[in-house]
Amino acid sequence: MARRKAKPRVLFVYRRMVPFVKSDFEALKRNFPVLPLHVTRNLIKDCVDFARFITKSDVIFVWFAGFQALLSVFFGKLFHKRVVVIAGGYDAAYVPEIGYGAFTFWYRAAVAYFVLRQADVVVAVSDNTKREVQRRLNPKSIIVIYNGIDTDLFVPKGEKELIVLTVAAINESNLKKKGLKVFVNAAAKVPEARFVLAGRCTTAVKELKAIATDNVEFTGYVSFEKLLRLYQKSRVYAQLSYHESFGVALAEAMACECIPVGTKRAALPEVIGNNGIYVSYGDVGETARAIRRALEDESSGHAARDRVIEFFSLSKREKNLTELIDNIQTHRSNDCLVAEK
């Protein structure tokens, strides 16, 4: 009788266990023996941890082409382990006009270039991110596996209200990157609606409060439960960004039947598809008119949710990641590593 092939052992390397990283960790744990390794930037401790765990693993899986991935590639090469790097967006981007992206800064670019060039497989979270990587270098293997949204958790519930929502940390970078000034200025032209900006605040919030009308609310940090309720109550989700590698919050909102209003930049058209309204970045008048149209639309939210279920479900990402890890030990060609979209 043929012996059953052992499952590859995965060393899961991370800097911060944010929700989308944790989601991958849990998905891989359901399918493989997984060891977590938290990189702390204490070089001695991190190297000792890698030396302890590397012989107990077959594949190294790491999010973002930063310091944690640099160590992953180094130890992977040293111990002949396959390395999978998730290119999450910033690590592949070059957007100097807004001071964004690893390739905008030489020292971060050097790390990202080395990691993405030496990794056995680079997994991009969108076609746009894949193109950004390929503009700078030629990886050994690069595929697209979209981020996954838990569509059993992010569900519509209750009546929609005249709320326009955007979710973002309020800091200097996001004022431009996320189009937060446009969001606040548009609120003045749609006084019948409540505009909610949910996310941690820094001193940059003063700049927004100085131009905000009474129908703008800054929530600061909100718990997951409150955020989910905001998605469920909001009729419109605004993603007015200059650059997005994917747009997890956008997809979560769409799963809750929010109608998306977004720019046609970077990866946003991949998420929105034909199920929202597009606006030009920075155009307050056009944005306000689009938001008003979306507020008057009481039926298109269903289609937005259907798109998330079809293309961005958590189960689809888990299936594709599982197939990737299963195949990486025996196959080296791109043809064997093409994920289903």
Domains of the chain: 10-148+313-337 (3.40.50.2000), 161-311 (3.40.50.2000)
Q: Of 315, 243, 262, 200, which is closest to residue 94 (Cα–Cα)? A: 243
Q: What is the pLDDT of residues 79-90, one digit of tens each?
A: 999 999 999 999
Question: Residue 206 burial by CB count (10 A; 0-12/13-18/19+): exposed, middle or buried?
Answer: exposed
CB 339 within 8 A of CB 145: yes
**Is residue 117 predicted with pLDDT exceeding 90?**
yes
Neighbours of 295 (CB within 10 A): 20
Q: What is the pLDDT of residues 21-61, one digit of tens each?
A: 999 999 999 999 999 999 998 999 999 999 999 999 999 99
So what's the pLDDT on residue 330? 60
Question: Residue 298 burial by CB count (10 A; 0-12/13-18/19+): exposed, middle or buried?
Answer: exposed
CB 249 within 8 A of CB 165: no
**In whole angstroms, how far apart are CA 23 and each of 28, 148, 150, 273?**
9, 8, 9, 24
Percentage of the chain beyond pLDDT 70 is 95
Please enumerate in sequence order all residues whose Cβ is within 8 A of that of 341, keeping only pairs 6 or more positions apart, or say none. 144, 146, 311
Please enumerate in sequence order all residues whose Cβ is within 8 A of that of 175, keeping only pairs 6 or more positions apart, or say none. 181, 204, 207, 208
Q: What is the pLDDT of residues 150-172, one digit of tens each?
A: 999 999 999 999 999 999 999 99
So what's the pLDDT on residue 340? 46
Cα 15 from Cα 67, distance rounded (Å): 9
pLDDT band at residue 322 under the 50/70/90 scheme: very high
Higher pLDDT, 329 or 198: 198
Q: What is the pLDDT of residues 231-276, one digit of tens each?
A: 999 999 999 999 999 999 999 999 999 999 999 999 999 999 999 9
Cα 72 from Cα 95, distance rounded (Å): 26
Neighbours of 243 (CB within 10 A): 23
**Is residue 328 predicted with pLDDT exceeding 90?**
no
Q: What mean pLDDT do residues 128-144 have?
A: 96
**Is residue 337 predicted with pLDDT exceeding 70?**
no
pLDDT band at residue 334 under the 50/70/90 scheme: very low
**Is residue 333 predicted with pLDDT exceeding 50?**
no
